[in-house]
């Protein structure tokens, strides 16, 4: 597929400047709206009102919070690395904005008499560029934890690095099938490849061939991975307040804290925009609106794009308001033992499908025989595995031995059948021992007096 930039002439510099400023303003305004939107949705889920006082519908509350962070006294703890401490939030914020430079917000439009696309630039490997920029943003989090000279911050940054390695692998693998189907890594070409409609028995259904339908397992893997990639609940392990105070953000305040806060919400919109572009048709209108020409072209593209992205952001808010935080071992197990393996198996299946379609493997009766044999083998494996599985019994506890919760050096709760020792007796004994006078010293004093 020919890149669209090869068809359209390059934009003049003032059109590029308008696009840059417009993208910057859009992300700032969208972030303010999403802060308000998240508070309102979570409040509705928890039978609360949320922000209602400042401005209409409470919209001024997010503006007030932003102004407070900008003008708040900003300080840096002693014994921190000054330059790295200041550079880390700027690095994360710049990466969040730069990722949108290749994002297609719409198709071809006419702007001030110039034919252009609603996209800052389109690269032949635009998706790889976006993944690379997203990886750079993690460095800001890692450097923040290292430069803060705090144990909580360091542990949070290390967790974030491990989280990025774990879930960016599954995220990248989930996108390979999209590249195979589209035959390109250009963001705009991937969107246009989903403009085709499904045809059943010669009848055009009008339903667009979105990759979310054709590549459903990859779409599900990406949705899970994007939540882990953005450190959002229930995968907010790098900044969980229950054990790390605030993680890598513990020592930040004021404007530098606001940069991380801004980057988090922009990254949430970024991964949602990638899902929209690669799996949900991008700026193309959904069915049945795609049957009307003026609803599926021109300036209507950004409207559909923003609506789809906002729907995915609603999923982020829904997860935060309903699911508890994962344990760290559960989080790592999900990424390394499930998502990556399933993504690899799906890539093999998609590759076989593409080769089979090209070579005509699915046109003869041999294909159906092979499918039947595989289905029978899988069914037998499931039945055999379910019949031979033995029920695991809990470990037997010796109730005759006294239970010492501090035997291993760290307090542990009792198992079923065990009871805690009488702490009152222990405390009273220690108190008596501390208050009891030294008899040897008292006897020596009495001897001296005598």
Question: What is the reported pLDDT for 386?
Answer: 52
Residue 436 has pLDDT above 60, yes or no: no
Least confident of 160-174, 263-277, 389-403: 389-403
**Residue pLDDT, tens place only, 280-333:** 998 998 988 888 888 888 889 899 999 999 999 999 999 988 888 888 888 888
Residue with structure tokens 């459903």?
216
Q: What is the DSSP string of 388-406?
A: HPPPPPPPP--TTSPP-TT
Reduce the DSSP state of residue 115 to 3 states and report it.
Answer: strand
Strand-pair category, 197-200 with 114-117 = unpaired
Q: Please state the separation of Cα 148 from the chain's center in Å.
A: 24
Residue 433 has pLDDT above 50, yes or no: no
- Burial classification of residue 180, based on how many CB atoms lie within 10 Å of its CB (0-12 exposed, 13-18 middle, 19 or more buried): middle
Confidence of residue 447 (pLDDT cuts 50, 70, 90): very low
Q: What is the DSSP string of 23-81?
A: HHHHHHHHHHHHHHHHHHHHHHHTT---S-SSSGGGTHHHHHHHHHHHHS-----TTS-
Question: Best-predicted range by mean pLDDT among 62-66, 366-370, 420-424?
Answer: 62-66
Q: What percent of the chain has pLDDT over 70?
A: 86
Q: 46 or 361, which is more confident?
A: 46
13-45 helix and 254-279 helix, angle to the nearest 10 degrees? 100
Residue 90 has pLDDT above 70, yes or no: yes
Least confident of 68-72, 87-91, 154-158, 393-397: 393-397
Instruction: Using alpha carbons, list the distances in angstroms from residue 54 to 33, 50, 71.
Output: 14, 11, 19
Residue 390 has pLDDT above 60, yes or no: no
Question: What percent of the chain is helix, strand and coil (3-state, nearest 5)?
Answer: 65, 5, 30
Phi/psi of residue 208, each to 5°? -70, 150
Residue 223 has pLDDT above 90, yes or no: yes
Residues β-bridged to residue 110: 115
Report the chain's mean pLDDT, rounded to a whole number: 82
The answer to whether 236 touches 244, Cβ cutoff 8 Å, is no
State how far the Cα of 438 lies from the Cα of 30, in Å rounded to an integer. Answer: 73
The answer to whether 268 touches 230, Cβ cutoff 8 Å, is yes
Residue 337 has pLDDT above 60, yes or no: yes
**Residue pLDDT, tens place only, 169-202:** 899 899 998 998 888 899 989 998 888 887 776 7
Q: Which letter does DSSP use for residue 323 in this model?
A: P
pTM above 0.85, yes or no: no
Show Cβ contacts of residue 267 under 8 Å, excluding neighbours closer than 6 positions. Answer: 96, 99, 134, 137, 229, 230
Tokens of 88: 């880390």
Confidence of residue 414 (pLDDT cuts 50, 70, 90): confident
For 9-38, b/e burial (b = at least 16 CB within 10 A) is eebeeeeeebbeeebeeebeebbbebbbbb
Residue 348 CB coordination number (10 Å) = 9
């Amino acid at each position: 597929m020919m890149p669209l930039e090869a068809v359209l002439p390059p934009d003049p510099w003032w059109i590029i400047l308008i696009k840059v400023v417009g993208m910057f303003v859009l992300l700032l305004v969208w972030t303010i709206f999403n802060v308000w939107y998240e508070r309102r949705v979570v409040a509705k889920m928890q039978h609360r009102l949320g922000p209602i006082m400042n401005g209409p519908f409470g919209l001024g509350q997010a503006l007030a919070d932003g102004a407070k962070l900008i003008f708040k006294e900003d300080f840096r703890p002693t014994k921190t690395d000054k330059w790295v401490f200041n550079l880390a939030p700027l690095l994360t914020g710049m990466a969040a904005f730069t990722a949108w430079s290749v994002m297609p917000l719409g198709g071809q439009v006419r702007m001030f008499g110039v034919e252009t696309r609603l996209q800052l630039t389109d690269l032949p490997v635009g998706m790889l560029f976006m993944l690379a920029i997203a990886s750079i943003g993690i460095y800001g989090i890692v450097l923040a934890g290292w430069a803060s000279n705090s144990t909580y911050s360091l542990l949070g940054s290390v967790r974030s690095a491990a989280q990025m390695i774990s879930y960016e692998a599954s995220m990248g693998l989930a996108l390979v099938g999209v590249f195979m189907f589209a035959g390109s890594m250009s963001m705009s070409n991937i969107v246009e490849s989903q403009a085709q409609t499904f045809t059943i028995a010669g009848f055009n259904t009008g339903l667009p061939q979105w990759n979310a339908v054709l590549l459903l397992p990859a779409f599900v893997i990406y949705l899970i991975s994007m939540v882990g990639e953005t450190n959002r609940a229930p995968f907010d392990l790098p900044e969980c307040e229950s054990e790390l105070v605030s993680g890598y953000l513990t020592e930040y305040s004021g404007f530098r804290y606001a940069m991380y806060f801004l980057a988090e919400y922009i990254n949430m919109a970024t991964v949602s925009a990638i899902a929209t572009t690669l799996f949900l048709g991008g700026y193309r209108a959904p069915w049945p609106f795609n049957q009307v020409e003026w609803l599926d072209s021109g300036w209507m593209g950004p409207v559909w794009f923003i609506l789809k992205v906002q729907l995915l952001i609603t999923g982020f808010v829904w997860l935060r308001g309903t699911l508890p935080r994962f344990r760290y071992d559960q989080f790592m197990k999900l990424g390394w033992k499930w998502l990556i393996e399933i993504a690899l198996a799906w890539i093999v299946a998609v590759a076989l499908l593409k080769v089979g379609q090209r070579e005509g493997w699915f046109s003869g009766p041999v294909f159906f025989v092979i499918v039947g044999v595989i289905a029978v083998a899988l069914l037998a494996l499931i039945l055999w595995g379910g019949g031979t599985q033995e029920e695991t019994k809990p470990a037997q506890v010796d109730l005759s031995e006294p239970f010492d919760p501090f035997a291993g050096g760290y307090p542990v709760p009792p198992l079923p059948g065990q009871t805690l020792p009488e702490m009152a007796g222990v405390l009273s004994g220690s108190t008596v021992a501390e208050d009891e006078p030294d008899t040897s010293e008292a006897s020596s004093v009495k001897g001296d007096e005598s």
